[in-house]
Structure 1
Amino acid sequence: MYLRFNMILTIVIQISIIYVIKSAAQTNSEACNSCCTAGVPGIPGNHGNPGAIGPQGMNGIQGMKGEQGINGEQGIKGEQGLNGEQGMKGDNGSNGLDGTPGKLGPTGPQGLIGLPGANGVKGEKGEQASQQKSAFSVVFTSNPGRHAASPMKYNTIITDVGNHYNKETGKFVCAIPGVYVFQVTSMKSGSSGQILTRIMKNGNIQMSTWMSASGYNSVSTMVVLDLISGDQVWTQPNSSGHNYYYSNGGRYCSFSGFLLYAA
């Protein structure tokens, strides 16, 4: 830029010199027109020394944008800046993939008992388990009258499942240990006598019925006994003063028993 400025300055000086010489020659010519003719122009003089640097000119019009320069080397890493303010919460991201199952945790406390569930579908009818059976019912179909104070031998057997009632002795003999139910019903004759019938087990009184009212009257009782194999159960009058029995085809005097459940 400096050389360019010098060249411009030199040209300006030369033009100025030519203008001065021309002005002088014209003056001399005007002075001499009256007395002489114009002479031949002289040879141009040597270039003068460069003048002093002039004041800075006004800003010129902005030139065109130059080409992009080569990237410089990376500078040294600066110090870490201060933490900025927390930004706004972003939108929820999509669900990630399921992770691997964790280890089984400790057992928690037992919860409250829930409400009862609905009834299930009724199951199919099962097969009946084999059950041991023992049952009997015997009656007087004719009038026994003044029965002796001994085991009453009922003359008619209605039922004898297992054949455990002995008609010859009037006694039931236990063959299946378990709990049994026994029941006795007796009718008093129309005379002024009375009846008192006992249920006996191996010779011991278990239960008694008593009737002393006038006319025909019935009385009954029932007992539950726990028997073992070989135990014997029967009925008999208390004494010869309590044996005014009556029965006929109506079967008013009876003795029954059955196995409730086996032991």
Structure 2
Amino acid sequence: MNLGFNMFFTIVTIQISIIFVMKAAGQSTTEACNSCCTSGIPGIPGQHGNPGVSGPQGMNGVKGEQGMNGVKGDQGTKGEQGLIGEHGLKGEQGTQGLIGLPGANGVKGEKGEQASQQKSAFSVAFTSDPGRHAASPMKYNTIITNVGNDYNLDTGKFVCAIPGVYVFHVTSLKSSGGGTVLTKIMKNGSFQVSTLVSATGHNSASTMVVLDLVSGDQVWTQPHDTNNNYYHSGSNRHCSFSGFLLYAA
């Protein structure tokens, strides 16, 4: 900045010096001319000179100091906490009441009627020797038990009167003379189970079956055929047939 200012000052000084020299020269010429010559016609005005060089920008002023911040006020004093109230007194527990006396026993109900149970059972046997029995229903000649009278002594068949599940059992004794005994339990003409005796001498065998019957079904025993019918019985009832109702349907 100082260099620019000095240059500007030098240029201005030179211009002022030139102006004074020209003015002095002009005065001398005018005085000489006035003494010997008449006044001439004024000359054409000269052209304006070029604008002078812009002066340097002045220096920025000094920035003022920042004002002081206001003083922050003090925080107010916190108030004291209020006192806690006292707990209320707990009421006393009431006295438990007395247990009431037990009530009197109720009147005993009348005895209910027992449902009548349906019954059916039989046992029959040969008390004499049946010999070579035919391949047909065996007609046992002695009734031991016949609850319900469902066994028919004349036909040798048990006839179901109470629908339900029945158990049947047969025992057969073979004669000592040889041959075999094969006895079948039949239901309405259809074979169910059988028992076989084929050893020499007196030998017996038995079997049992459980059948589901409806009213009118018939059950009996009979030899398999005339080649397997060597029966033997007597007063000791070696050949027998039994059955009973297990439960009604």
CA apart distance, 1:205: 0.3
Corresponding residue of 2:228: 242
| Structure 1: segments with no counterpart, 5+ residues | 1-80, 97-122
Q: Does 1:214 align with 2:186?
A: no
SS at match of 2:215: coil
Corresponding residue of 1:41: none
Q: Does 1:192 align with 2:178?
A: yes
Corresponding residue of 2:17: none
What code does the residue aligned with 1:177 have? Answer: P
Q: Does 1:203 align with 2:201?
A: no
Corresponding residue of 1:229: 215
Compute the TM-score of the two structures, normalised by the length of structure 2.
0.58
SS at match of 2:82: coil
Across the aligned residues of Structure 1 and Structure 2, the Cα RMSD in angstroms comes to 2.3
Question: What is the distance in 1 between the residues matched to 2:113 and 2:172?
Answer: 41
Question: What is the distance in 1 between the residues matched to 2:198 and 2:112?
Answer: 52
Q: How does 1:1-263 map to 2 (within 5 A)?
A: 83-86=81-84, 89=87, 91-94=89-92, 127-263=113-249
Distance 1:131-1:211 versus aligned 2 partners, 3 A rule? same
Question: What is the distance in 2 between the residues matched to 1:217 and 1:164?
Answer: 30
CA apart distance, 1:133: 1.3
CA apart distance, 1:91: 4.6
Compute the TM-score of the two structures, normalised by the length of structure 1.
0.55
- The alignment-based identity, stated in percent, is 73
Deviations 1:223-252 (A, max 9, x none): 111111111100000011110111111111
Deviations 1:57-85 (A, max 9, x none): xxxxxxxxxxxxxxxxxxxxxxxx96523
CA apart distance, 1:88: 5.7
Question: What is the distance in 2 between the residues matched to 1:249 and 1:125?
Answer: 48
| Structure 2: segments with no counterpart, 5+ residues | 1-78, 95-108
Question: What is the distance in 1 between the residues matched to 2:208 and 2:89?
Answer: 87
SS at match of 1:141: coil
